[in-house]
């Protein structure tokens, strides 16, 4: 089973454009045409500026073996787009003086002492959140990284602490501060850092420090009490898609990896988080972080700079700087693009994973950013 395999990359936004006509207020009809073209059960999309919503749309059904239509308030899994939320959480501790971007792992986990790999000891928060700390990828539950994890018991925070101690005793996957190695495991360590400083679970800290100030209602990774009236994820099949029952424990993202990819939000709530980032990148203050901190999250901390910020991918799209990311927990897919110089952003969700959903969501996101930029973007 594959989890969190989709990342920000230079190939994410290359090629393909769609030709279409849309109303400024509703994208329902157009989103439905994209959904049907790619045989995806449901899609949801939103287009926004820093202070307003330009358009939104939703189409399809919550699960392919039923007829209940999707609603705009329904929640989708963000997959690896969760990483920006975890980086934001650590940013709140930086602003309070409880952490620095240059704080090392040895300083945070002194009890590991000589047990921690000498290479990992010098890795910083900046390097960890930008995938330059050498933590192995832990990309797929069927790969050798996941198979090598010892059995971890206890609560999710206890599991994350045990995982962190275990992984930091091992050998880095690459040089610290060297070429970026995209790592879900690095964000598990980041979650353990938040839990160490905040003395609460990562989930509680996200709710209190990120969701509450922004007025967001979010959930995490098909919890122990899943809402069956929310969208079900789907795997791709030859005939279409196969729904995944959220009560199936074998299909849930392991708790240790939740800080890397477990948040579930509606497009409206996700837009609130993305608008926070747009405002900060425009050097405007926000209700959550200073513009300086937000700009830091969207900047590569290595020299020469590469395509990794802190929870964000960095690239040009149509010749304009953009912060981007894609995410999948196997049975959902999500893409976001924000361009501060255009005061423009989009997010598109699908309740399916696989090639068809990836194509549908990515093409829709690119088409929407181009359409609204040409219609009045800066």
Domain boundaries, the chain: 1-378
CA–CA dist 330, 247 (Å, integer): 16
Burial (CB < 10 A; 0-12, 13-18, 19+), residue 196, is: middle
DSSP classification of residue 124 = B
CA–CA dist 310, 124 (Å, integer): 12
CA–CA dist 42, 171 (Å, integer): 42
CA–CA dist 59, 37 (Å, integer): 12
Query: 262, 220 in Cβ contact below 8 A?
Result: yes
Query: 121, 112 in Cβ contact below 8 A?
Result: no
CA–CA dist 333, 5 (Å, integer): 10
How much helix, strand and coil, in percent to the nearest 5, is found in the chain? 40, 20, 45
CA distances 284 to 171, 193, 275, Å, are 42, 28, 11
| 129: three-class secondary structure by DSSP | helix
Residue whose structure tokens are 């996200």: 206
Q: Quick one: pLDDT at residue 19? A: 40
| 29: three-class secondary structure by DSSP | helix
Sign of the CA dihedral running 115, 118, 122, 124: negative
Query: 139, 4 in Cβ contact below 8 A?
Result: yes
Helix (H) or strand (E) holding 263: strand 263-265
Helices (H), the chain: 28-38, 82-95, 105-108, 118-121, 125-129, 144-147, 156-169, 184-198, 202-206, 212-214, 258-261, 267-281, 291-297, 355-374
Residues 74-103 as b or e (16 or more Cβ within 10 Å = b): bbbbbbbbbbbbbbbbbbbbbeeeebebeb
| 339: three-class secondary structure by DSSP | strand
Query: 172, 121 in Cβ contact below 8 A?
Result: no
Q: Quick one: pLDDT at residue 18? A: 42
Query: 24, 12 in Cβ contact below 8 A?
Result: no
Topology of the domain comprising 1-378: Beta-lactamase (3.40.710)
pLDDT 10s per residue in the chain (378 long)? Answer: 443 444 444 344 333 334 444 434 699 999 999 999 999 999 999 999 999 999 999 999 999 999 999 999 999 999 999 999 999 999 999 999 999 999 999 999 999 988 999 999 999 999 999 999 999 998 876 667 777 888 889 999 999 999 999 999 999 999 999 999 999 999 999 999 999 999 999 999 999 999 999 999 999 976 666 788 999 999 998 878 999 998 888 887 889 999 999 999 999 999 999 999 999 999 998 999 999 999 999 999 999 999 999 999 999 999 999 999 999 988 999 999 999 999 999 999 999 999 999 999 999 999 999 999 987 644
CA–CA dist 90, 95 (Å, integer): 9
Count, residues in the chain: 378
CA distances 306 to 172, 300, 301, Å, are 20, 6, 8
pTM over 0.85: yes
* N-terminal to C-terminal alpha carbon distance within the chain: 43
């Amino acid at each position: 089973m594959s989890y969190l395999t989709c990342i920000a990359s230079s190939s994410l936004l290359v090629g393909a454009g769609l030709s279409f006509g849309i109303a400024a207020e509703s994208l329902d009809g157009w989103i439905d045409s994209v959904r049907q073209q790619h045989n995806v059960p449901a899609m949801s999309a939103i287009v926004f500026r820093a202070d307003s919503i330009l358009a939104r749309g939703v189409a399809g059904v919550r699960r392919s073996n039923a007829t209940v239509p999707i609603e705009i308030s329904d929640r989708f899994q963000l997959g690896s787009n969760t990483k920006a939320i975890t980086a934001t959480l650590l940013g709140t501790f930086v602003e309070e003086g409880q952490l620095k971007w240059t704080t090392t792992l040895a300083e945070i986990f002194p009890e590991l002492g000589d047990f921690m790999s000498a290479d990992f000891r010098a890795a910083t928060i900046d390097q960890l959140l930008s995938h330059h700390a050498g933590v192995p990828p832990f990309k797929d539950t069927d790969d050798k990284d996941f198979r090598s994890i010892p059995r971890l018991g206890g609560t999710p925070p206890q599991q994350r602490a045990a995982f962190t101690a275990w992984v930091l005793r091992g050998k880095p996957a690459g040089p610290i501060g060297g070429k970026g190695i995209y790592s879900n495991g690095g964000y598990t360590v980041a979650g353990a850092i938040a839990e160490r400083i905040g003395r609460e679970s990562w989930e509680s800290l996200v709710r209190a420090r990120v969701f509450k100030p922004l007025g967001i209602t979010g959930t995490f990774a098909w919890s122990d009490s899943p809402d069956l009236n929310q969208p079900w994820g789907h795997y791709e099949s030859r005939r279409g898609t196969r729904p995944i029952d959220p009560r199936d424990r074998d299909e849930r993202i392991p708790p240790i990896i939740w800080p890397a990819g477990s948040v579930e939000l509606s497009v409206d709530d996700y837009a609130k988080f993305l608008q926070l980032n747009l405002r900060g990148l425009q050097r405007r203050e926000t209700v959550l972080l200073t513009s300086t901190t937000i700009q830091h999250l969207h900047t590569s901390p290595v020299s020469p700079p590469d395509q990794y910020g802190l929870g964000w991918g960095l690239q040009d799209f149509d010749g304009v700087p953009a912060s981007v990311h894609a995410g999948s927990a196997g049975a959902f897919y999500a893409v976001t693009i924000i361009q501060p110089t255009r005061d423009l952003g989009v997010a598109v969700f699908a309740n399916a994973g696989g090639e068809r959903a990836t194509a549908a969501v990515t093409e829709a996101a690119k088409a929407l950013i181009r359409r609204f930029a040409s219609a009045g973007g800066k």
